[in-house]
Chains A and B, each alone.
Chain A
C-alpha cells in the first residue's frame, strides 16, 4: 500500500466532508498556511479603528514626505518676510503685531490658508507642513535607532546570560535611572553648541535630538526583548535547534528573532507616538528644534496669543494630538492583534 497510489480513493468513507479531506483538492491548496504574523494582520484589517488610524498616519506621512510639493502647491514657504509688510506694525494701538490679512481679525486669505504668525509674519501652513516633516523624521529615526540598539542589547544579554548579561543589565538600569527630560534638557543644548556651525545648524540640531531620543529610548526595548528571549530560551524548540547542531548565530537570527516580531512591533508602536510627543514637548520648552519649523515651538509661541488668536495655537496642537492619538490607537490595535489575550 503506497500513499501516492491509494491516497485519494480511500477518502470518501472517512469523513462527512470528503471534498475537504482530499489533500490534492483545490481548496486544500488554496488554504495555504497562515503564519501568526498573517493572522495578526488579518485581525488588524478587520479593526475599524485601526484602519482609520492607519489612514490618518498615512496622511501625515504623505504630508511629511511631499512637504516641498505641498508647500509649492499652496504657494507658501518658510522664507522669512519683513514683518511690517504683512503685520500691523503700529505699536501704539491695540492688536499690535497681528497680521494684516486673514485671521484673527480679517476674513480668510487664500494666499495664507492657515493664516500668518503674529510678530514674525511667518506663514502658518508652511510651518505646519514642515513641522510635520520634522516631527516624523525625528520620531522615525529615533525609533529606528533605539529599536536596533535595544534589540541587539536585549538579544545578546538575554541569550548569553552570565557576566555579559549582568553588565548590559547594569547599563540598562543606569540609563533608566537618568531622568529623560532633564537629561535631554541638559545634553541637547551642549551638543548643539558644540557642533552647530552656522551653515549646518538645523541638521545638527535635528541630529542631536535624534541622538538624545535614541540614547534614552532603547532601554525599554532592550528590557522587553531580554525578558522575551529569557522565556523563549527555555522553550523546547530552542533545545531542539541545539540538539540539531544549529550554530548560535543561526539560533539567534533564524529561531529567536522571528519570534520577537510581536514584541518588536509592540515596542515600535509605543515608541513612535512617544517620540513625536517628546520632540514637540522639548520644542515647547524651548530646547528642542528651534532652527527649523516645529509644532512644539509654534505651540510655545502661540500661548501668549491665546485670547485673541486661538487658531494660531490650535493648528499645531491639533497636528500633534491627531498624530500622537492615531499612532497610539493604532499601536493599541496592533498590540491586541498580536496578543488576543489582552483584548479590551
Chain B
C-alpha cells in the first residue's frame, strides 16, 4: 500500500493538429422496424497526450461512435457517413486491408468485460504475441513472447514470465483488465479507446486501473478516449468531456468547465442524480425524470425535451419543434452546448447548484 501524490493530467502536446478528428459522424443500423440512428452528426477531436471523456447513458451512442473509429462495425449491417481522420488518414470508406494495418497498431481499444474479450482457449501470452506479430511481421516467435512478458510487467502483473502462460480465466478481474490494457498498448498506439474499462471492477481495483492508464498515457504520449457513464471517472481522467444523449453531442468542453459550469439541463441532471462521497449531506438527489428515448422514434426537436425540467423557460415551443444547434456556451472558448435556454449559466448558478451542492453554491457566491 503506497500513497501516490496527486498529479496533473495534462502534458504538452508537440504535434500540429489533433491526432483523431471526427466530423459529422452518423452511424445507422437498418433493422426490421426501420433504421436506427445510433450516432447523429457527431464531431470531436483528440490531440496526442490528451484524454477525451465520453459520457452518457446506455443507448446514447458512446460505444457505437468509437467502434466506428476502430472500423469494427460490420459493413453489411451498418451505414457510416461523415469523416474520421486518424493521424491524417481518412478511415471512413478505407479499404479493409489498409484499415487492418491501423487497427491494433496506430489505434487500439480496451473493452469493458475482459473475461469475454479475451479468448478463453489461448494463453494470454500467445494472444499478446499475436497482436505484436501481426504488426511486426519480421519479429520472431521469441521476440513476441519477450514483448508479451515485457508488457505484462509494464502493466503491473506480478511474475509476468510465469503468468504469460496462463489463461484468461486464471486471472482476477483487475489483472484481466491489465492484460487487456497490455494487449492494447503492445504496439505503442497513438490512439487508445477505453470502453468502460472499470465498470465491472471494485473501487480499489478501479483506482489501480485508472492510475495505470494515466501513467501509461504519460509514458506513451497517446491520445486517449475514455467512455464511461461514471462522472467520477471522467473527473479524474479526462481533459475534455463530451456529453452524449440519444446519439448526439449535447455538451462539450474542458472537464473543469463541464463539471463546474455545465450549461445543458441533461448535464445538470447527470450531476444532480448521483450522490457524492464528499458532498454536503444537505445536497438533494434530483433524478432525471423518465427513461432514455427510443432511437427508433426519437423525440422531435431537442431529444431531451420530454425529460427536461427547464423547457418552460424557453419561449414558445422551440424545444418541441427545433433541434438546437451546437453553439458556443457563454463566451468561453471551446465550450459547446446544444440547448435553447437563453441564460443557462445563470439558471445553473441560481437555481440548480443551491439544490444539488449547497456548499459549493455558497463558495461561488
Interface residues on A, range: under 10
**Residue B44 CB within 8 A of the other chain:** no
| Alpha-carbon separation in the docked complex, A152 to B300 (Å) | 54
Q: Does B320 interact with chain A (Cβ within 8 Å)? A: yes
B295 to chain A, nearest CB (A): 16
* B306 is an interface residue with CB less than 8 A from chain A: yes
Q: How many Å from the CB of A109 to the closest CB on chain B?
A: 53
A316 to B299, CA, bound (A): 61
Mark out the residues of chain B between 292 and 322 whose CB falls within 8 Å of any chain A CB in the assembled complex. 299-300, 306, 320
A55, B300: Cα distance in complex, Å: 46
Within 8 A of A (CB), among B221-277: none
**Which residues between 66 and 117 of chain A lie within 8 Å of chain B, taking CB atoms?**
none
Interface flags for B164-192 (1: CB within 8 Å of A; 0: not) read 00000000000000000000000000000
Residues of A with C-beta under 8 A to B320: 16
Q: Interface digits, A1-39 against B, CB 8 Å rule (1 contact, 0 not)?
A: 000000000000011100000000000000000000000
Nearest-Cβ distance from residue A10 to partner chain B, whole angstroms: 13
What residues of B have a CB within 8 angstroms of the CB of A16 in the complex? 299-300, 306, 320
Taking CB as reference atom, which chain B residue is nearest A13?
A: B312
A14 to B290, CA, bound (A): 10
User: What is the CB-to-nearest-CB distance from B294 to chain A, in angstroms, rounded to a whole number?
Assistant: 12
Chain B residues with CB under 8 A of A14: 306
Interface secondary structure of A, over-half rule: loop
Query: Which residues of B have CB within 8 Å of A15?
Result: 306
Cα(A25)–Cα(B117), bound, Å: 47
For window 136-189 of B, CB contacts with A under 8 Å fall at none
Q: What separation, in Å, do the CA atoms of A16 and B321 have in the docked complex? A: 10
- Bound CA span A269–B306, Å: 46
When distances are taken between beta carbons in the complex, the residues of chain A under 8 Å from B300 are: 16
Query: Which residue on B lies nearest to A15, using beta carbons?
Result: B306
CA distance A231 to B306 in the complex (A): 39
Chain A nearest CB, measured from B235 CB (Å)? 33
Cβ of A19 to closest chain B Cβ, rounded Å: 15
- Could you say which residues of chain A place their CB within 8 Å of the CB of B306? 14-16
Could you tell me the distance between the alpha carbons of A15 and B300 in the complex, rounded to whole angstroms?
A: 11
Q: Taking the nearest CB of chain B, how far is it from the CB of A53, in angstroms? A: 23
Give the distance in Å from the alpha carbon of A14 to the alpha carbon of B299 in the complex: 12
Nearest A residue to B300, CB-CB: A16
User: Nearest chain A CB to B95's CB is how many angstroms away?
Assistant: 31
Compute how far the CA of A15 lies from the CA of B311 in the bound complex, rounded to whole angstroms: 13
How close is A146's CB to chain B, nearest CB, in angstroms?
Answer: 35
Minimum CB–CB distance for A62 against chain B, Å: 35
Q: Output the nearest chain A residue to B312 by Cβ-Cβ distance.
A: A13
When distances are taken between beta carbons in the complex, the residues of chain A under 8 Å from B299 are 16
Q: Chain A nearest CB: distance from B314 CB in Å?
A: 14
> How far, in angstroms, from A15 to B293 measured CA to CA in the complex?
12
Give the nearest-CB partner of B311 in chain A.
Answer: A13
Tell me, in angstroms, the Cα distance from A14 to B320 when the chains sit together.
11
- The chain A residue with its CB closest to the CB of B307 is A14
The CA-CA distance from A14 to B307 in the complex, in Å, is 8
A143 to chain B, nearest CB (A): 34
Shortest Cβ distance from B305 into A: residue? A16
Report A168 CB to chain B, min CB distance, Å: 30
How far is B300's CA from A277's CA once the two chains are assembled, in angstroms? 58
Complex CA distance for A257 and B315, rounded to whole angstroms: 57
For the complex formed, measure the closest distance between the CB of A13 and the CB atoms of chain B, giving whole angstroms.
9
Shortest distance in angstroms between A42's beta carbon and chain B's nearest beta carbon? 14
Cα–Cα, bound, A15→B291 (Å) = 12
Taking the closest CB of chain A, its distance from the CB of B253, in whole angstroms, is 30
Bound Cα distance A15, B320 (Å): 10
Interface residues of B in 104-157 (CB under 8 A from A): none
Bound CA span A16–B317, Å: 11
- Shortest Cβ gap from B313 to chain A (Å): 14
Interface string of A175-204 (1 = CB under 8 A from B): 000000000000000000000000000000
Q: When chains A and B are docked, how far (Å) is the Cα of A15 from the Cα of B299?
A: 9
- Bound CA–CA A16/B320 (angstroms): 8
Q: How far does the Cβ of B252 sit from chain A's closest Cβ, in whole Å?
A: 27
**Bound-state Cα–Cα, A16 to B299, Å:** 8
B38 to chain A, nearest CB (A): 21
Interface CB pairs A-B, < 8 A, 6 = A14-B306, A15-B306, A16-B299, A16-B300, A16-B306, A16-B320
Which residues of A are at the interface with B, using a C-beta cutoff of 8 A?
14-16
The 3 lowest CB-CB distance pairs between A and B, nearest first, are A16-B300, A16-B299, A15-B306
